[in-house]
């Protein structure tokens, strides 16, 4: 497994998104996936205090007991969701949310602590100040942000103290069929020296190749029965999927391989965070992360995507 840097952290280029833990997976199945991840060389595990109703952190704490030093553990805080008493980016929220996460995890520190969403009511400098204090207290090693625009990212970087820790990562959505990050966010990451962590790299499974034109929706997938995701499966999107799969096939690869390789061809991308509900899925994601696109193939993919246009609107 290749590795890249997030600030002082060395992480595997394929990470494990932990939003299924406590929601779709119980403790035993969570352990199966985490065991497979560690066996395959995955070191970055990314969760949040709201995943699985907070059980994702609880489960991770249990299954990582005795092997905490084998992972770079990232979690997030502050999501503005109903029922979240610790939403937002106020300094007191930062400290209280970290207290709660560390208790659930059964750990004394988090490697990467991330603001889940920007808080329009709190100056980012106040949030950064609280995160800086937690770095100095030894309870987090690095901090990052998520779901920020390029302008907001630059403001967050500027708020970092000159003599102290700074924002090291930005986690936003990015995939072959949702490329908004390429317009402004990725250039900002390159300019500011911030690592980029794409989430939904497979567009909720659409880019695995399991959804094909004129074929029934497979049973047991997260899209089936979900109006939001099923609505994306238009003829235009499925045509794009067929063309991308064909391009991958010309290289002796599958669509999922192209989905990972395209993102990893971006220098700012440190790790592609993908969820998994089974050891088999985890191992397939890891295998996909091994392909490195040459410039000619990457340009061919871009040309195809430019021609296809916006087929997966939010």
Tokens of 208: 């695995």
Give the CA distances from residue 246 to residues 143, 212, 243, in Å, rounded to whole numbers and listed in that order. 40, 12, 5
- CA 223-34-283 angle, to 5 degrees, is 65
Contact 173, 198 (CB under 8 A): yes
CA distance 93 to 88: 7
**Number of C-beta neighbours around residue 28 at 10 A:** 9
Active site residue 211: no
- Pairing type for strands 3-6 and 9-12 reads antiparallel
Residue 47's SS3 state is coil
In the set 51, 174, 199, 211, the catalytic residue is 51
What is d(CA 230, CA 252) in angstroms, rounded to the nearest whole number? Answer: 29
Query: Can you give the C-alpha Rg of the chain in angstroms?
Result: 19
Question: Rounded CA gap, 115 and 232, in Å?
Answer: 28
Per the DSSP assignment, residues forming a β-bridge with 145 are 115, 170
Residue 270 contacts residue 6 (beta carbons within 8 Å) = yes
3-state secondary structure 174-242: CECCECHHHCCHHHHHHHHCCEEEEECCCCCCHHHCCCCCCCCCCCCCCCCCCHHHHCCCCHHHHHHHH
Is 128 within 8 Å of 158 (Cβ atoms)?
no
Q: Catalytic amino acids?
A: 51
């Amino acid at each position: 497994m290749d590795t890249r840097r997030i600030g002082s952290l060395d992480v595997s280029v394929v990470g494990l998104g932990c939003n299924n833990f406590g929601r779709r997976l119980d403790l035993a199945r969570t352990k199966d996936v985490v065991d497979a991840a560690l066996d395959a060389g995955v070191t970055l595990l990314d969760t949040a205090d709201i995943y699985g109703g907070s059980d994702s952190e609880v489960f991770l704490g249990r299954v990582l007991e005795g092997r905490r030093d084998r992972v770079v553990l990232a979690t997030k805080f502050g999501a503005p969701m109903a029922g979240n008493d610790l939403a937002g980016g106020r300094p007191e929220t930062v400290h209280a949310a970290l207290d709660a996460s560390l208790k659930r995890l059964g750990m004394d520190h988090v490697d990467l602590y991330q603001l889940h969403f920007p808080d329009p009511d709190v100056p980012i400098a106040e949030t950064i100040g609280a995160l800086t204090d937690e770095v100095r207290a030894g309870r987090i090693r690095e901090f990052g942000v998520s779901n920020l625009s390029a302008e907001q990212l630059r403001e967050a970087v500027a708020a970092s103290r000159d003599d102290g820790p700074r924002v090291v990562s930005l986690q936003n959505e990015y995939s072959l069929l949702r490329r908004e990050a390429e317009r402004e966010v990725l250039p900002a990451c390159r300019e500011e020296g911030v690592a980029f962590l794409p989430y939904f790299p497979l567009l909720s499974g659409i880019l695995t190749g399991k959804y094909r034109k004129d074929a029934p929706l497979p049973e047991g997938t997260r899209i089936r029965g979900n109006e939001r995701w099923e609505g994306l499966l238009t003829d235009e999107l499925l045509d794009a999927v067929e063309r991308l799969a064909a391009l991958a096939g010309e290289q002796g690869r599958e669509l999922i391989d192209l989905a990972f390789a395209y993102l990893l061809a971006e220098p700012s991308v440190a790790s592609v965070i993908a969820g998994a509900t089974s050891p088999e899925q985890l191992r397939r994601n890891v295998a996909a992360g091994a392909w490195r696109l040459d410039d000619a193939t990457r340009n061919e993919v871009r040309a195809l995507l430019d021609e296809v246009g916006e087929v997966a609107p939010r």
